[in-house]
Structure 1
Amino acid sequence: MAPSDPRRPDKVYRYPKNAQAVGGSAEYFNAIGMVCSLVGLLMKMKWASWIGVCCSVMYLANSKTAEDKKTMISLFMLASSSLVMVYMQAPSPMTLPFT
């Protein structure tokens, strides 16, 4: 370093990357997507299948690591297959439960 350089290398502290501080919203989307996809598939509820698809897409978008590719693929396949199966069993338009 040049003598006119104002930086002080002895005062530099690296920021510790803490995995716990990142947050776990992606895991919540994973759990909600799995539950809603299974409920939609087993109970033939189209709105639950749509929630499962939305949660699977949000899980794909918010996941921090690419380590759990198997979980990503299985969640997305479960959600999309539940949506396809529900619409193949009852092709009528979706009605909301409170109407």
Structure 2
Amino acid sequence: MPSRVIRVYQPWPTPVRAARYTDASVLPEISAWVTRLREQGLVPPDVDFAIRDGADGLVGVLGDRCGEHELRPTGFLVFGRRGLRILDEASFFGQYHDPDVG
């Protein structure tokens, strides 16, 4: 069954798969996606995704060799040539667009 959360977004300069944090219910699916990427060898074995209580509710936390990065509501977890990274909404839509939207 295709995911509602993990989608392909079109370039600048190449398409990427990304998950948008729309509400807390999507965080387990995002976590499972990171696990699959790690199991497939597409991200290093030390990359992890956890769900934690933050000051304003649940946040996703991407852990990698550079430290921890929080995925907050409306943010995106992006998988591209450089691996996984977290972008805020403005940064994401400055680089990518949803091909299903005009």
Q: Please, what TM-score do these two structures have when normalized by structure 2?
A: 0.30
Which structure has greater helix proportion? 1
Q: Please, what TM-score do these two structures have when normalized by structure 1?
A: 0.30
Larger Rg: 1
Which structure has greater strand proportion? 2
